[in-house]
């Protein structure tokens, strides 16, 4: 058998969304704008929630953490992409690629857990309003947040350690604009069966089980709202969970779209373009959804800016 050059100290090449030179200024301006809007919008939400004592409730506590996770998620990917476009250099070191992969998994999965916890919070608020303050007490909210962080860090650490055991050849081109776990595993020269098995197992345990709690919560919520006699009461109940339901639909809709596109086509460029939705567009749109659909947040942002 012909010997192959394996190494753990390697340079990866991020091929990005387009290799055409005339497209690079457009991509730079687009992603810079999206990043600035995401960072500013979510930061303002966090500051408004911290400053206004009326927002010191479980719903806004989890919302502030979701905004923080969105800022960190985009900050893990977009600045490196902008730097590569500006410097006309697509290289990313092995260590940086592993770090980017780790933090992307941490904040991406944390988004998933926080959306699940927020669905449970709305379920308790609408279906068990008299026991809401007892159930969603500060200690329990802190436990839910801590559990979400621990599970996400352990999941990312497991996948990171599994990637470290792989060996890579010398010529490595990633058909993406950041180091994503499946893309990196596919480039390995060593056996990746165990890595693939762990990816599917953790996706099933940490993905399917918590995700099933969101439809269950909203089924109970809709059932409870329909029992309300007054139209004003129904509107008020729907408005309290409308923003969260919009964000859930956007997050999982785009993620599912990327997954289905990866199954239906082997075109990695199409997958990279679809990934823009949940890595850059969704965190940006989340801040708009929560501010435009929430009068209290809009008032608090007005006071904060003035």
Q: Name which of 11-15, 111-115, 136-140, 299-303 the model is least confident about.
A: 299-303
CATH code, domain carrying 164: 1.20.1070.10
267 belongs to a structural domain: yes
38 belongs to a structural domain: yes
218 belongs to a structural domain: yes
Output the pLDDT for position 266. Answer: 55
Range of the domain at 111: 11-305
Q: Count of domains in the chain?
A: 1
6 belongs to a structural domain: no
pLDDT digits 0-9 by tens, 58-112: 999 999 999 999 999 999 999 999 998 888 888 888 899 999 999 999 999 999 8
Q: Name which of 48-57, 98-107, 155-164, 296-305 the model is least confident about.
A: 296-305
pLDDT digits 0-9 by tens, 249-277: 777 776 666 655 555 555 566 677 777 87
What mean pLDDT is predicted for residues 279-288?
84
Output the pLDDT for position 268. Answer: 65
pLDDT digits 0-9 by tens, 54-67: 888 999 999 999 99
Q: Does residue 32 surpass a pLDDT of 50?
A: yes
5 belongs to a structural domain: no
95 belongs to a structural domain: yes
Output the pLDDT for position 82. Answer: 93
0.85 surpassed by pTM: yes
207 belongs to a structural domain: yes
Assigned token pair, 273: 């373009």
292 belongs to a structural domain: yes
Q: Does residue 292 surpass a pLDDT of 70?
A: no
Q: What percent of the chain has pLDDT over 90?
A: 36
């Amino acid at each position: 058998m012909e010997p192959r050059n394996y190494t753990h100290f390697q340079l990866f090449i991020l091929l990005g969304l387009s290799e055409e030179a005339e497209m690079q200024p457009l991509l730079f301006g687009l992603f810079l704008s999206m990043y600035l809007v995401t960072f500013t919008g979510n930061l303002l939400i966090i500051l408004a929630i911290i400053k206004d004592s009326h927002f010191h409730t479980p719903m806004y506590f989890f919302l502030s953490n979701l905004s923080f996770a969105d800022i960190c998620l985009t900050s893990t990917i977009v600045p490196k992409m902008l730097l590569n476009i500006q410097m006309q250099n697509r290289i990313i070191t092995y260590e940086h690629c592993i770090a980017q992969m780790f933090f992307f998994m941490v904040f991406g999965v944390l988004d998933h857990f926080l959306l699940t916890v927020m669905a449970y919070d709305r379920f308790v608020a609408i279906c068990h309003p008299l026991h809401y303050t007892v159930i969603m007490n500060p200690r329990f909210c802190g436990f839910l947040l801590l559990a979400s962080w621990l599970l996400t860090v352990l999941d990312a650490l497991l996948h990171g350690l599994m990637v470290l055991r792989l060996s890579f050849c010398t010529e490595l081109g990633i058909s993406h604009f950041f180091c994503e776990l499946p893309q990196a595993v596919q480039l390995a020269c060593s056996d990746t069966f165990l890595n693939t098995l762990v990816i599917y197992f953790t996706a099933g345990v940490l993905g399917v089980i918590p995700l099933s709690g969101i439809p269950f919560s909203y089924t109970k919520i809709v059932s409870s709202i329909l029992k309300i006699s007054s139209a004003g009461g129904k509107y008020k109940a729907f408005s309290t969970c409308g923003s969260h339901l919009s964000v859930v639909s956007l997050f999982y809709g785009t993620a599912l779209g990327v997954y289905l596109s990866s199954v239906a086509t082997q075109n990695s460029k199409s997958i990279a373009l679809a990934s823009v939705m949940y890595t850059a567009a969704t965190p940006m749109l989340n801040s708009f959804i929560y501010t435009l659909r929430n009068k209290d947040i809009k008032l608090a942002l007005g006071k904060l800016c003035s």
